[in-house]
């Protein structure tokens, strides 16, 4: 039984069209014409309880619009959407108790007050008893390593600490479904790792379903086995991250350190040379030719070191979006 269902989900926005000049302004004032902008078009997918799914796409692809439809913040133009058995845009109390939305560029904590005061407001909104409030705050504080931070004004917390406090506030009512829009945006590497570790532990402990958007591919590779790719409002790929790499990156990178530098012309016989810096060479080799090519390199050249790796995930996904094909 899927906890998130989207069938042919679409969102169109009417945008007024105005001709330049005074004549255009007068015409625009009395008789406006509109064109339709397709933010999301016929997107369909299902997510099972407990899944952690990455939702990827370039800026303006429709990710945030889709999240807003799934959380009920905006009404879809057409299509069917169900989350935890509810129609999101009805915004029923039972639905709001089961979901949360965290946006890395927005905050819900009151800037000049200690985070604990905002958490008490959230507890009152969700009818959480004082005893249960203390227990949940204690548990989440320990998981997020926020001991001693919740009594400080939010403005005095570091960016990483603020993001952790935002997560605590968003998860205080223990939602079943987490919609996370760039939760590590702007954080340093250590803070990003801490947030990822927390989300992994939270998912394992409570079997919460997570739909995650992020421009940091490390977030996706660390947390998600499955990814959705959206481009220009349309779903381009729905499947495993490994399947994406196999489908769109049928080659491997062969990094070689030579005993002595060789000219590019000679090296090109072994594959597509992506990098040549002194004795360091990086070849791009088709996967089916990998074993044969590596054997030839080792037998023909004086090799000090050789490693084979997959191309970076962000490079593969960028190629998919650039090509615009599935």
Q: What is the mean pLDDT of residues 128-134?
A: 95
**Is the predicted pLDDT of residue 281 greater than 90, yes or no?**
yes
Q: Does the pLDDT at position 326 exceed 60?
A: no
pLDDT tops 70 at residue 178: yes
Domain 251-309 fold: Alpha-Beta Plaits (3.30.70)
- Return the percentage of the chain with pLDDT > 70, whole number: 98
pLDDT, residue 45, reads 97
Residue from 83, 224, 197 nearest 142 by CA: 197
Q: Lowest mean pLDDT: which of 152-156, 239-243, 303-307, 314-318?
A: 314-318
175 pLDDT exceeds 90?
Answer: yes
Three-state secondary-structure class, residue 111: coil
190 falls in which pLDDT band (50, 70, 90)?
confident
pLDDT in tens, 244-255: 877 777 788 899
Burial degree of 178 (CB within 10 A; 0-12, 13-18, 19+):
buried
Who has greater pLDDT, 27 or 259?
Answer: 259
pLDDT at 20: 86
Average pLDDT value for the chain: 90
> 153 pLDDT exceeds 70?
yes
Report the CATH number of the 4-12+41-245 domain: 3.40.50.300
- For position 323, what pLDDT does the model report? 62
Give strand pairing partners of 54: 212, 227
Length of the chain, in residues: 326
Cα–Cα distances in Å, from 294 out to 256, 268, 281?
A: 10, 14, 13
197-208 mean pLDDT: 93
For the cut 80, the answer to whether the pLDDT of residue 9 exceeds it is yes
What is the pLDDT confidence band of residue 324, given thresholds at 50, 70 and 90?
Answer: low
- Domain residue spans of the chain: 4-12+41-245, 251-309
Residue 325 has pLDDT above 80, yes or no: no
Asked if pLDDT for residue 222 goes beyond 80, the answer is yes
Once rounded to an integer, what is the mean pLDDT over residues 155-178? 93
Model confidence pLDDT, tens digit, residues 82-106: 999 999 999 999 999 999 999 877 7
- pLDDT above 90: residue 173: yes
Q: What is the pLDDT of residue 30?
A: 80
Give me the DSSP letters along 6-71: EEEEEEEEEEEE--SHHHHHHHHHHS-EEEEEEEEEEEEEEE-TT-EEEEE--TTSSHHHHHHHHT
User: Residues of the chain with pLDDT > 90: what percent?
Assistant: 63
User: Which is higher by pLDDT, 324 or 262?
Assistant: 262
Task: Label residue 17 by pLDDT band (50, 70, 90).
Answer: confident
Q: In what order do the strands lie in the sheet with 33-47?
A: 33-47, 4-17, 78-83
* pLDDT the model gives residue 280: 94
- For residue 151, what are the contacts with CB-CB under 8 A and spacing of at least 6? 114, 116
Averaged over 118-143, what is the pLDDT?
94
Which among 65-74, 266-275, 308-317 has the top mean pLDDT? 65-74
Which has the closest alpha carbon to 293: 303, 316, 311, 259? Answer: 303
Q: Can you give the pLDDT at residue 57?
A: 86
What's CA 25's distance to the chain center, in Å? 41
Q: How many CA atoms lie within 13 A of 325 on its CB side?
A: 4
What local confidence, expressed as pLDDT, does residue 73 receive? 94
Choose the weakest-confidence range: 43-47, 122-126, 260-264, 316-320. Answer: 316-320
Q: Report whether pLDDT(210) > 90.
A: yes
């Amino acid at each position: 039984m899927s906890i998130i269902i989207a069938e042919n989900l679409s969102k169109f926005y009417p945008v007024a069209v105005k001709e330049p000049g005074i004549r255009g302004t007068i015409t625009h004032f009395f008789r406006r014409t509109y064109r339709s902008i397709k933010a999301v078009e016929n997107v369909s997918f299902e997510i099972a309880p407990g899944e952690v799914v990455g939702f990827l796409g370039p800026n303006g692809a429709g990710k945030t619009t889709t999240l807003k439809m799934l959380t009920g913040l905006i009404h879809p133009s057409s299509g069917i959407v169900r989350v935890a058995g509810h129609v999101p845009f009805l915004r029923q109390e039972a639905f709001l108790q089961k979901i949360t939305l965290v946006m890395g560029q927005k905050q819900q904590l009151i800037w000049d007050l200690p985070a604990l005061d905002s958490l008490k407001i959230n507890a009152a909104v969700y009818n959480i008893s004082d005893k249960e409030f203390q227990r949940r705050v204690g548990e989440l504080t320990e998981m997020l390593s926020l001991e001693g931070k919740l009594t400080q004004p939010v403005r005095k917390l570091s960016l990483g600490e603020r993001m952790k406090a935002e997560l605590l506030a968003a998860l205080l009512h223990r939602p079943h479904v987490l919609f996370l829009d760039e939760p590590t945006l702007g954080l340093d590497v250590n803070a990003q790792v801490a947030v990822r570790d927390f989300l992994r532990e939270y998912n394992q402990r409570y079997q919460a379903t997570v739909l995650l958007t992020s421009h940091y591919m490390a977030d996706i590779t660390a947390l998600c086995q499955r990814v959705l790719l959206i481009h220009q409002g349309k779903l381009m790929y729905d499947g495993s991250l490994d399947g994406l790499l196999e489908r769109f990156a049928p080659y491997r990178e062969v990094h070689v350190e030579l005993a002595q530098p060789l000219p590019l012309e000679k090296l090109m016989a072994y594959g597509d040379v992506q990098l040549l810096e002194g004795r360091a060479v990086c070849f791009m080799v088709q996967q089916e030719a990998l074993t044969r090519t590596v054997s030839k390199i080792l037998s023909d050249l004086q090799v000090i070191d050789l490693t084979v790796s997959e191309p970076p995930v962000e490079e593969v996904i960028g190629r998919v979006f650039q090509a615009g094909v599935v």
